[in-house]
């Protein structure tokens, strides 16, 4: 079983309202040590017995067509067999 | 700088509509090798110079109070200095 992990994060300089609002909420709850919060999304995709090189190419296409927004996101792909 | 990573995933048996709809969408785009898709959320929390043991305890409280829903989520915490 080939499994791909796509780790999606915001490009540097792109504002992260979810992170900054979570920081504020944690301060309101008394967690004063928190300096900043960022979120990352991970897609785990099972690709059956696709060969590894082909899996990587396919996942790269999926990222560009559906899983990420190239205007605001960077992504890394890890393939595990 | 202490940084905590909180990895949030759905408990076994909890339905994952985002994952199943993404699987369908990838099939419609022609990615037939995709068998299933799951999503994971990662919170990255900067905690300044909080001692590691205290950071772990604080992050565990944050998870229970704000970052996760104990009915549907499991989570793992990793602390990096």
Give residue B78's pLDDT: 96
The shortest C-alpha distance from B46 to chain A (Å) reads 5
Percent of chain B with pLDDT over 90: 98
Residue B16 is predicted with a pLDDT of 93
Largest Cα–Cα distance in chain B? 50
- Does the distance separating the beta carbons of A43 and B38 come in below 8 Å? yes
**pLDDT in the model for residue A81:** 85
Interchain pair A22, B65: CB under 8 A: no
Tokens representing residue B35 in the block: 């068998």
Whether A74 has a pLDDT exceeding 90, the answer reads: yes
Nearest residue to B44 (alpha-carbon basis) of B3, B81, B9: B3
Mean pLDDT score, A58-71: 96
Beta bridge partners of A77: A6
Closest CB to A58: pick one of B31, B66, B67.
B31
Q: Are B2 and B16 in contact (CB under 8 A)?
A: no
Check B41 against A40: CB less than 8 A apart.
yes
The 10s digit of each residue's pLDDT in B12-71 is 999 999 999 999 999 999 999 999 999 999 999 999 999 999 999 999 999 999 999 999
CB A20 within 8 Å of CB B37: no
pLDDT score recorded for residue B79: 95
Residue A76's CATH number:
3.30.1280.10
Q: What is the ipTM score, two decimals?
A: 0.88
Domain count, chain A: 1
Provide the residue range defining the domain that includes A43.
3-80
Mean pLDDT, residues A53-66: 96
Q: Percentage of residues in chain A with pLDDT exceeding 70?
A: 100
């Amino acid at each position: 079983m080939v499994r791909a992990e796509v780790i999606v994060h915001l490009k540097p300089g792109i504002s992260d309202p979810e992170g900054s609002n979570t920081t504020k909420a944690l301060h309101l709850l008394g967690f004063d040590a928190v300096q900043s919060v960022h979120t990352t999304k991970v897609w785990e995709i099972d690709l059956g017995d696709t060969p590894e090189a082909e899996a990587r190419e396919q996942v790269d296409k999926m990222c560009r067509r559906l899983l990420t927004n190239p205007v605001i996101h960077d992504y890394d792909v890890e393939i595990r067999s």
